[in-house]
């Protein structure tokens, strides 16, 4: 997805291994939420009593506070005071979001937390890698697995389980978890937690389920897209920026303008 959105930003990060683009406050709040849930489901929260919740929340807060200023895109906040206010806002947003999630946390029989795996897939030229938030015992099929993903969002996804990004992520995770555990993978479950409180009092959590047994067409498109992307990055080419990219557009154009990333040599 990074390659499709902004080829030059992708080349800088994944080929040149330059990781200097600051993260948005929203992204850091989401990562802190992931840190908290990683510890909640990975040990601190078992049994999931109040002490376990408090310990997990504290570790997420520790993550936010450990991020240095130069790794944060403060936007218009330039002064030291403005940056402090932005950091305080990030902490408040984090506390609110994680409290929404942990008020009634989904229950799972967890087999793995932050599972990193690589898989060789027939028909694909390159191995694929994914990180799964949780690998759990499936509740719909004995002996099978489900993959659980957490997302902290500003607004709920309108496309729900049909959202292309969810489906592509799900299939990456399907192959890697199947390879690592050697078991059938039944579903990919997305828990979206809205970070800001709904004015109408409606639920802050939504759950979307992707049933892999009903995704034959999506698997075919996934294979075609990966093979086409592999072919594209394999040829000699010039990596161009995408100035309209809301996340890294300006940074990628500055890199191109200043020639800061070496382009592949033409033969």
Closest CA to 195 of 96, 104, 63: 96
* Domain segments of the chain as ranges: 17-103, 110-230
Closest CA to 165 of 154, 155, 151, 179: 151
Backbone phi and psi for residue 77, each to the nearest 5 degrees, phi listed first? -80, 105
**pLDDT reported for residue 83:** 96
Place of tokens 């990456």: 172
Helices (H), 104-235: 164-181, 216-234
Tokens of 188: 């990919």
Give the number of other Cβ atoms within 10 Å of residue 109's Cβ: 9
pLDDT band at 264 (very low <50, low <70, confident <90, very high): low
Query: In what order do the strands lie in the sheet containing 145-153?
Result: 110-119, 128-137, 145-153, 185-194, 205-211
* pLDDT, tens digit (0-9, with 9 covering 90-100), for 186-223: 999 999 999 999 989 899 999 999 999 999 999 999 99
**Helix, strand, or coil here: 187?**
strand
Question: What percentage of residues in the chain have a pLDDT greater than 70?
Answer: 95
Mean residue pLDDT of the chain comes to: 91
pLDDT band at 18 (very low <50, low <70, confident <90, very high): confident
Enclosing H/E stretch for 31: helix 25-39
* pLDDT, tens digit (0-9, with 9 covering 90-100), for 107-145: 999 999 999 999 999 999 999 999 999 999 999 999 999
**pLDDT reported for residue 59:** 95
In 57-75, which positions are buried (b, 16+ CB within 10 angstroms) versus exposed (e)? Answer: bebbbebbeebeeeebbbe
Question: What percentage of residues in the chain have a pLDDT greater than 90?
Answer: 72
* pLDDT, tens digit (0-9, with 9 covering 90-100), for 37-59: 999 998 744 444 454 899 999 99
Backbone phi and psi for residue 111, each to the nearest 5 degrees, phi listed first? -105, -25
Q: What is the mean pLDDT of residues 19-33?
A: 92
In 193-232, which positions are buried (b, 16+ CB within 10 angstroms) versus exposed (e)? Answer: bbbeeeeeeeebebebebebeebeebeeebeeebeeeeee
Q: What is the mean pLDDT of residues 25-48?
A: 84
* Of 239 and 247, more confident: 239
Q: What is the pTM of this model?
A: 0.89
DSSP 128: E
Q: Which residues, other chains included, contact 3 with Cβ-Cβ below 8 Å and sequence gap of 6+?
A: 10, 14, 229, 233
Q: Which residues, other chains included, contact 30 with Cβ-Cβ below 8 Å and sequence gap of 6+?
A: 151, 152, 153
């Amino acid at each position: 997805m990074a390659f499709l959105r902004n080829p030059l930003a992708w080349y800088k990060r994944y080929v040149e291994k330059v990781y200097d683009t600051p993260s948005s406050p929203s992204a850091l709040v989401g990562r802190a939420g992931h840190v908290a849930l990683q510890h909640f489901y990975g040990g601190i929260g078992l049994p999931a009593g109040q002490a376990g919740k408090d310990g997990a929340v504290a570790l997420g807060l520790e993550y936010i506070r450990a991020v240095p200023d130069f790794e944060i895109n403060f936007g218009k906040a330039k002064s030291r005071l403005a940056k402090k206010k932005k950091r305080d806002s990030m902490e408040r947003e984090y506390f609110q979001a994680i409290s929404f999630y942990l008020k009634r946390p989904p229950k799972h029989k967890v087999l793995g937390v932050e599972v990193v795996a690589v898989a060789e897939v027939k028909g694909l030229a390159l191995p694929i890698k994914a990180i799964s938030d949780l690998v759990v015992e499936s509740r719909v099929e004995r002996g099978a697995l489900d993959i659980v993903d957490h997302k902290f969002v500003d607004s709920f996804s309108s496309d729900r389980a049909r959202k292309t990004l969810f489906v592509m992520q799900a299939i990456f995770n399907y192959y890697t978890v199947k390879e690592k555990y050697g078991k059938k993978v039944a579903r990919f479950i997305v828990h979206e937690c809205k970070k800001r409180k709904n004015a109408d009092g409606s639920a802050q959590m939504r759950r979307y389920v992707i049933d892999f047994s009903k995704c034959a067409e999506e698997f075919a498109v996934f294979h075609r897209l990966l093979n086409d992307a592999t072919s594209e990055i394999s040829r000699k080419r010039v990596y161009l920026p995408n100035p309209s990219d809301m996340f890294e557009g300006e940074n990628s154009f500055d890199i191109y303008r200043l020639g800061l990333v070496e382009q592949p040599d033409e033969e």
